[in-house]
Structures are given as C-alpha cells and as structure tokens.
Structure 1
Amino acid sequence: MNIPSNAMVADESGLRWRNEFATLPPKFFTRLQPTPLPDPYWVGRSNAAAQQLGLEAEWFLSSEALEVFTGNALLPGMDPLASVYSGHQFGVWAGQLGDGRAIMLGQSESGFEVQLKGAGLTPYSRMGDGRAVLRSSIREFLCSEAMQGLGIPTTRALCVTGSDARVRREEIETAAVVTRTATSFIRFGHFEHFWAGDKLDELRTLADFVIDRFYPECRLTDRFGGNAYAAFLEAVSERTAALMAQWQAVGFCHGVMNTDNMSILGLTIDYGPFQFLDGFNPRHICNHSDTGGRYAYNQQPSVAYWNLYCLGQSLLPLIGEKETALAALESYQAVFPREFLGRMRAKLGLPDAQDGDLPLVEGLLAVLRQEQTDWTIFWRRLSQHMAGADVQTVRDLFVDAAGFDVWLNLFIDRHASVPRAAAAALMLQSNPKFVLRNHLGQKAIEAAQRKDYSGVATLLKLLETPFEEHPGFDDYAGFPPDWASSIEISCSS
C-alpha cells in the first residue's frame, strides 16, 4: 500500500509517523531502505528521549524496537530517505556532501524527526561505507544526552544498537547504529548546495519550507522592510550566537564546525571529535585531524560567524541586497557577547548586571588560563564554597594561591549586595558537577567492547542530571588521569 509521505499512520504500538521533508521535490533527497545488520543488540537507551518522542515505554524494550532502530525493519508510515547538501569543510568548499550514513525514517506526531546514523550506504556516501562504529556511536549517544542535561540546544540520541558485523577504520571494529532525533536536521549546507548549483527555485522552496515551519514570525516582521529571508538570516544568527555562548561557558569543544555541521535551528549537531575542557587552555584543539587549529576552543565563536556569512551568501539571491544580508548578520556580533557575559554572570552567581562585570570575568579567565586550572572542577568548587564549603578547596587548585586571592577579593566585593544563598543556588544550577570527559567516555567504550554496557548506563544517568550531587559517584567528577591527555579523537568514526 502506498501511503502519502505526509500522512500520519499508526502502527501496532500506537506510534504515528509522517515525513514532512519528503514533501519537498525529488532533488532534495533520495528514498532508500536502511541496510540491515545481523544479530543486533542494545548498547544504550535514553528513556527521556523516548518519552519526548512519544514512544511507549514497554514497546521501547521490545525486539521490534531493536530491529527498527538498527535499520532492520520499518514501522507503518515511515518513509526513509537520505538528503543532499554541500558545504565548506575546514574553510574549503567541499562540493556535494549529503547524508552519507544517515537515513531519516520519518517524523513522529510529537514533531521530532528520527534518523539512523550508521544504517548503510546512501548515494551520498562518497568513499565511505555508510556505517558507524561502536566507539563513536557511544560518544554521540552520551554527549547528545549530556548536552540536553546541561540545557544546551542539541539533537538528541534515542538509543545505540550494536552488531558484531565488522567495519574497517584504522583497525577492524564492530558496527553500531545511533538513533538521533531533532525537530529538523537541516543544515547550513542544505542552502549552500542549491546556491552553489544556481538552483534558485529549490533554494526558495527550502527557505520557505524552513521559515513556514520553524520561523513563522519572519513572515510578519517589519525588519529589513519586511524582507522575510533577511529576518530569517538574522534569527538563525541570533540562535547560533546564543548556542556559541553556551558552548564557551560550559567549556565544550565541537571539533568539526564545518558548514554542513551547523544546524539551521541553532542546535548542537554531529558529535564527532568533541571534548569538554579539562585544564583551561583557550587554544585547546580537541580534533586530532585539525592540525591548523581552525576549530580550537577560542576560535569557535568566530568560526560560527564565518559559517553564518556562508549561509548569508547562500541566501543572498533571496534577500536581494548585500547590505541587507550583512545587516542581518550583524546581530551575531551583538548577541554573542551579551549572551556569553550573561552565562558567566550566572556561573558567578550574579543575578543582575553591573558595569564592572566584564573585567571581573576577564580577570578570572586570565588567572585560569595562566595555570590551566580544571574548568569544571573550579566552577563547581567555587559554587560549593558559596554554599558553605571551605574556600581552601578552591585555593588548592592554584599554585599561585595569592594571585588567585586578588581576584577572589574582587569577587567577594561584587557579592556584597547579593544574598549568599541565592548566589549559591544560581551557581549550583549553572556549574555542572558532571560533564562527559574523554576518559570517562573511553572507559565506557572499552567496557562496551567487552559487551559490558553498565558504564554507558551509569554515565547516562549522571549526565542526564549533571547539576545534582549523585552521592557515591564522586569519582566521575574528579580530575582526569594522566593517560587522558593521550586520547586522540579524530574525524574517523
């Protein structure tokens, strides 16, 4: 039976599926079936993501769910496809790219698209095999849910399934599939693709599709003389600026900020060689493949703006005037510093703004940079000090404790008019105890490679609620071991 791609169809478990992306013209995607994997097994599942999606809890435990989320079976109404896009990679135009190993199954009635990553070859796989390996799938699964727990906009990960099927990377590994969800997986690169091919009709169709579904307010704006496409570019710029502020405040390094890895909705997308900072080194490079440091931690805000400029160039045929497009991009330059300073104020327990706050933040960053103090531990200990713990636990993080004290006295003076209990509560809600450090992920991966998935489950539990104390799990919030600095994460997955 042929089912219209935008119809809502219920299956035996009560789920309803459609695929709005499939209503776009054929040049946007290729319909295809996932390639099955033999003898799949569960590696990890997020009940929180399942609830958001609308899955029934009992069905999510079933063998049918295992087959569906490995790509071995489809539910009624699913309309699998892979989309085409292009992009700039490491600042160089890469031409046509596309979903090389991602296949969208459809969209649940809750409005979330569901995508399998590692489900086999697509027309856009280029030299790849369309598969993902266990280690990278576990990292993406855990970090997606960790970012959700931190309150940072992100695609989510529903589950990871594994198979003993062999996949060749630098060495032979086993295959896995991570099921991702998002309100949309459309990227900057989708727009670049049709702009580069001088396909104005398709470019306009895509822009209208995104605006009507996700940015309807742009149709009603009086900004830019009522230019909806310029208003759209401005809205994306502002969402991206806010996202960058959140990344920087929590010490998150993405690692591969290519234009095809930038979400049109301002979501964190495509978890490859990411890392949360250990010691605070603004020049830290988390991607072993990034030999030039293009995507170092301190470069992320400027790279995001560069990527937005590429998006603006792609939208220029619709916007009309270059000056209008540049004006739309200008909002990024205002929003990012404002949002970042706001995040830092919250980390410092400051509910209101004062003129001296920026120097206070910059002075602290200079102290942390000088000693490469552990980013997460410093902020959590400072929060706990405000909640009553001995300040010595913070001073112990510094070789030059006297130098830190100079800043600490300024911090104390700034808090003279702030109730300490309120400041402590704000700080404990803004500075996580747990983040997905590389060594924690590596331990969970190594255990999973031995078919022990308890480490994945434990990390998921902690990362879903990273601001809570979780008594008995302090080891997961401790300093990284010496061997952690030798972990190399690259684009290979």
Structure 2
Amino acid sequence: MILNNLYATFDWAGTRVEPTPLAEPRLLLINHELADQMGLQGLSDRQWLDITSGTRLPTGMAPFAQVYAGHQFGGYSPRLGDGRALLLGEVEAPDGQRWDLHLKGAGKTPYSRFGDGRAVLRSSIREYLASEAMHHLGIPTTRALCLVGSDEPVYREEVESGAALLRAAASHVRFGHFEYFFYSGGEQHIATLLDYLIDTQWPDLAKDPQGYAALFERVVERTAHLIAQWQAVGFCHGVMNTDNMSILGLTLDYGPYGFLDAYDPYHICNHSDYAGRYAYDQQPAVGFWNLQRLAQSLSKLIPIEQLQEALGKYEYALLSTFSELMRQKLGLSGWQDEDPELFRQMFTLMAEQQVDYTAWFRRLSSLAAGGPVPEEILALLTKPDAWQEWFRRYQARLAVEHRGQVEKKAQMDLINPKYVLRNHLAEQAIKGAEQGDIGECERLLAILRRPFDEQPEAESYAQPAPDWAKQICVSCSS
C-alpha cells in the first residue's frame, strides 16, 4: 500500500521534485525478502525498474526533496538537503509498520548545489551491500530495496556509470532537520517534526507530559546503543556529520565506511578525513558531540536541565552496551571485576600485532578453558609468545564460567560474525558489476545474510584481507 508522502503536508520541509529518469536503465538487484515484508511482492520487475530509475512512479507517490542543515567535519553548513535523492512516499506494511521509500541518484534538486544529482554504480553497490550486511548483523540500519544501473556517464574523479538505489527506513529524519529550522528561525516546524515522530514512531510518548524530553532521551540512548554496536563489530562510518545522523538511531548514509581488518584503534577509513575526526576510536565521542548539537536545536522546546539530564545518560548507555557485547564476544556469561583489564590487555596486544579483528574473535571461540591454544588462533599473531600471559588469564577466567566448551563456542559464534563486508570483498563485487557481471554481488549478499553461520563453500570470504587491500582508497565520493 503506497501512502501519500508525509511531506506533502509539510511544504515547508523541502520541495516537490520529479525524478530525472536514468538513461537506458537496467535492473540489477531486488531485495525480495524486504519487499515481501513490506507487502510489495506483487510488483513486477518492470515496475521495480520504472520506480528505481525514476521512469514511472505508482499513483500516490509524491516525490519530495528534504531540506536540512548539518555540522560537516565540525563546521556548520546552513543549507544542505537531498541533493541527489527524493522521498517517494510511504508504505504501510502488512504488520502495520510504516516505511519511507527514498531514491538516491534521482537527479538534481534545489539542494544539489553544484552537483549533478546522480549516484554512481560503485557507491550504490557499496551502500546496498553494507546496509544488508549490517541488518543481518543485527545492527539498526536503513535497508536496500532495489538497485538499477545504466550507461549514463557520471563524472567524479573519472567517468563512471550512473545508478540509482531505492532504500527504505521507518523514517529518514536526521539531526540536521532540527538544526536547519533552529538556525533559520523555524521553531514551530521543530515542534511539528517532533509531533510527527511521536505520532508515527513512538506513540507511547503521546500521553507523556514530558513527551519532547522523553523523545530526546530516547534518541540519546538509541544513538549510544548504535555506536556501541559499531565499535563491537569493528565498523567505521567515516562521515559522522550531523546530517548523517538518524533520529531513530539507524546507520544512515553509507559512504567511505569500512570494517576493521587489522585492529587499529586510530583507523581512519575515509581518505577525505585528513585530521582523523571520524577515526574508529573517535566515534563514541563524535556521537556525543552530535547529540549536543541536536540538544541545542531543541533548546527552545525542552528545558536545558532536561536536555543535560538526557545527555548525561549517553556515556553509561554506550559503555554498558559495549561492555556487555565484549563480555559475550569473549564467551563470558557473568561479570568479574577484573574483566575490564582483561579487555584492555587484549586490545593493547591486538593493536601492537595488528591482529585481524573479525577473525580473532571468531577463532577465539575454539579456545577451551584448558589445553593448548589452537593453531588457527596462533596463526593470526606475529608474536605468539607475547600473548602467553593473556591466554593464561583468559583461560582461568573461562574456567570460572563452569560451562562446557561446546556450549561456550556455540554462544560465542552467535555474537562473533565469521563474515563481514571487508573492503576488498566489496571492491571485487564492484569490479564485476562494472564489467556487466552482477554475480559476485549476489554471491556476497547471500554470504552476508548468514554472517554467523559456518559456510564451508565460502571459507575464502572469511580470511583476513590480502596485502593489496591496504591500497583501496575510499573517500567522501565513495
């Protein structure tokens, strides 16, 4: 069921814009699982192609380019908005959930500035793969619904082929929406947006006399939980500008992201981030800084004391979530006072020896409370002898758990993925698609939809990255 676009009634929130159709579009990927969930299984391939290419939209869709602002790398940009994307409409799924349909690569809008309004195949594949990988890892995210390619040339650092990505989320409202109306004198619109979020996303707050304050507290906690999950799985967003921060606590706007290969707490995945503002170890602090910017934008509607009280819950929510995830990743069912030191020592050694992050935690499940360290773990270490004291402490800690090795390993394998979207895997899939073969994208998606399962036929996808992967460059144009 296609509903009228929310913003058809919020004409102050952007501009009605029709998409500019892609030239000679071709259908590449459809997320049938998600389409079924949304009640869209009846659409034909032709309809998916028409919608995602911007050629022909169903009745009821009201394409709309949102306006918002944002702090980009710490500096305020007063007018950003959907420069290459359009909200097409809302869908009400059979289970009652509402979904925004958001088309990236739809052509120029009033917010394109000097851009062409297009997306390229490379970045569209990266977002499709990443959003689905994150979803199946259990991390809140926007979802990819359909990908269309074309022969239309798009100019970036070099000429690339144009593409369009149809993505979905319960809402695409960002921190930057509130910043825009705060700095432009539209406080009444901030209240309208908050009321909309309560009405459509959190109706339990409708009768709360402190509804706006309770909503902000919820945003704080969701943001903290999200970033703790990023840190635990080794995910780097790369561009945590406030216009890329979801009010619902979703992973939003995949650009120069990356999953850690060799563990480096200072890893910078975005080659445009010269100062390392969005390095892996900075993400928790940036999340808090961004929430402070949101709090400022809400300060005329929520008392300062209540904003400060909500912000004060961020650190505890993030650290408690991260600590719980780390406890599970190490196979510990209880909590001991010495556990934080066990974690710190492990991360210090991992950084010194550049241990592969994903493979380390996955293989660690094979280590029993007693006995030798399995060879598959030692193979990840450049100086195994330096780990002997840590292994002794860790095995002693496991012995306190009084759980059998089979049970412990099974539980660890449910939290430690074997497969993540490493950059070199995405790069290989992109190269194939650029040459007209979408097969590797499909194979990779099938693997990433079962990240915790043993998949013997896909063992090579779980190996640490090859040396050539260090040369892959992703930036804000990715």
Secondary structure, aligned partner of 1:318: coil
In 2, distance between residues paired with 1:23 and 1:208?
16
Task: Give the match for residue 427 of structure 1.
Answer: 412
In 1, distance between residues paired with 2:202 and 2:46?
39
The match for 2:250 among 235, 247, 267 is: 267
**For residues 368-387 of structure 1, what are the structure 2 equivalents within 5 Å?**
368-386=350-368
Secondary structure, aligned partner of 2:101: strand
Residue 277 in structure 1 maps to residue 260 in structure 2:
yes
Residue 348 of structure 2 aligns with an amino acid whose one-letter code is A
Residue 305 of structure 1 aligns with an amino acid whose one-letter code is F
Residue 332 in structure 1 maps to residue 311 in structure 2:
no
Deviation at 1:390, TM superposition (A): 6.2
Residue 76 of structure 2 aligns with an amino acid whose one-letter code is W
Instruction: Calculate the TM-score normalised by the size of structure 2.
Output: 0.96
The match for 1:107 among 86, 90, 95 is: 90
Deviation at 1:174, TM superposition (A): 0.5
Residue 269 of structure 2 aligns with an amino acid whose one-letter code is C
Residue 157 in structure 1 maps to residue 157 in structure 2:
no
Secondary structure, aligned partner of 2:344: helix
Deviation at 1:325, TM superposition (A): 1.2
In 1, distance between residues paired with 2:88 and 2:179?
24
In 1, distance between residues paired with 2:6 and 2:290?
24
Deviation at 1:435, TM superposition (A): 0.7
The match for 1:59 among 37, 43, 54 is: 43
Secondary structure, aligned partner of 2:301: helix
Residue 193 in structure 1 maps to residue 180 in structure 2:
yes
In 2, distance between residues paired with 1:386 and 1:254?
34
Task: Give the match for residue 467 of structure 1.
Answer: 452
Secondary structure, aligned partner of 1:378: helix
**How many residues are matched?**
471
Residue 358 of structure 1 aligns with an amino acid whose one-letter code is P
Q: Would the aligned equivalents of 1:18 and 1:79 in 2 still touch at CA under 8 Å?
A: no
Secondary structure, aligned partner of 2:298: helix
Task: Give the match for residue 11 of structure 1.
Answer: none
Deviation at 1:254, TM superposition (A): 0.3
Q: Which moved more, 1:234-243 or 1:42-51?
A: 42-51
Deviation at 1:323, TM superposition (A): 2.5
Unpaired segments of 5 or more residues in structure 1?
1-15
Note the alpha carbon deviations across 1:300-343, whole angstroms, 9 max, x for none.
Answer: 000000000000000000003x2221111111011000000011
Deviation at 1:157, TM superposition (A): 0.4
Deviation at 1:233, TM superposition (A): 1.2
Deviation at 1:20, TM superposition (A): 4.8
Residue 190 of structure 1 aligns with an amino acid whose one-letter code is H
Residue 405 in structure 1 maps to residue 392 in structure 2:
no
Deviation at 1:246, TM superposition (A): 0.4
The match for 1:124 among 97, 100, 111 is: 111
Q: Would the aligned equivalents of 2:5 and 2:61 in 1 still touch at CA under 8 Å?
A: no
In 2, distance between residues paired with 1:162 and 1:198?
41
In 2, distance between residues paired with 1:483 and 1:157?
29
Deviation at 1:200, TM superposition (A): 1.4
Residue 342 in structure 1 maps to residue 324 in structure 2:
yes
Instruction: Calculate the TM-score normalised by the size of structure 1.
Output: 0.93
The match for 2:166 among 163, 168, 179 is: 179
Deviation at 1:389, TM superposition (A): 10
Residue 456 in structure 1 maps to residue 429 in structure 2:
no
Deviation at 1:82, TM superposition (A): 1.1
In 1, distance between residues paired with 2:63 and 2:452?
38
The match for 1:242 among 225, 234, 244 is: 225
Q: Would the aligned equivalents of 2:5 and 2:87 in 1 still touch at CA under 8 Å?
A: no
Q: Would the aligned equivalents of 1:81 and 1:105 in 2 still touch at CA under 8 Å?
A: yes
Task: Give the match for residue 480 of structure 1.
Answer: 465
Deviation at 1:400, TM superposition (A): 2.1
Deviation at 1:64, TM superposition (A): 2.0
Deviation at 1:438, TM superposition (A): 0.7
Residue 132 of structure 1 aligns with an amino acid whose one-letter code is A
Deviation at 1:23, TM superposition (A): 4.9
Task: Give the match for residue 34 of structure 1.
Answer: 19
Q: Would the aligned equivalents of 1:384 and 1:428 in 2 still touch at CA under 8 Å?
A: no
Q: Percent identity?
A: 48
Deviation at 1:449, TM superposition (A): 0.7
Deviation at 1:29, TM superposition (A): 2.0
Residue 370 of structure 1 aligns with an amino acid whose one-letter code is E
Residue 200 of structure 2 aligns with an amino acid whose one-letter code is R
Task: Give the match for residue 212 of structure 2.
Answer: 229
Secondary structure, aligned partner of 2:53: coil
Task: Give the match for residue 25 of structure 1.
Answer: 10
Q: Would the aligned equivalents of 1:112 and 1:184 in 2 still touch at CA under 8 Å?
A: yes
Deviation at 1:384, TM superposition (A): 3.6
**For residues 305-316 of structure 1, what are the structure 2 equivalents within 5 Å?**
305-316=288-299
Q: Would the aligned equivalents of 2:5 and 2:62 in 1 still touch at CA under 8 Å?
A: no
In 2, distance between residues paired with 1:295 and 1:235?
24
The match for 2:154 among 147, 150, 167 is: 167
Residue 89 in structure 1 maps to residue 76 in structure 2:
no
Residue 144 of structure 1 aligns with an amino acid whose one-letter code is S
Deviation at 1:382, TM superposition (A): 0.8
In 2, distance between residues paired with 1:191 and 1:24?
18
Q: Would the aligned equivalents of 2:20 and 2:106 in 1 still touch at CA under 8 Å?
A: yes
What is the aligned-residue RMSD (CA, Å)? 1.6
Q: Would the aligned equivalents of 1:153 and 1:266 in 2 still touch at CA under 8 Å?
A: yes
Secondary structure, aligned partner of 2:171: coil
**For residues 354-365 of structure 1, what are the structure 2 equivalents within 5 Å?**
354-365=336-347
Q: Which moved more, 1:403-412 or 1:454-463?
A: 403-412
In 1, distance between residues paired with 2:5 and 2:433?
36
Q: Would the aligned equivalents of 1:238 and 1:331 in 2 still touch at CA under 8 Å?
A: yes
Deviation at 1:51, TM superposition (A): 2.2
Deviation at 1:24, TM superposition (A): 4.0
Residue 44 of structure 1 aligns with an amino acid whose one-letter code is L
Q: Would the aligned equivalents of 1:395 and 1:404 in 2 still touch at CA under 8 Å?
A: no
Deviation at 1:361, TM superposition (A): 1.3
Change (3 A) 1:486 1:202: same
Secondary structure, aligned partner of 2:222: helix
Unpaired segments of 5 or more residues in structure 2?
none
In 1, distance between residues paired with 2:432 and 2:115?
27
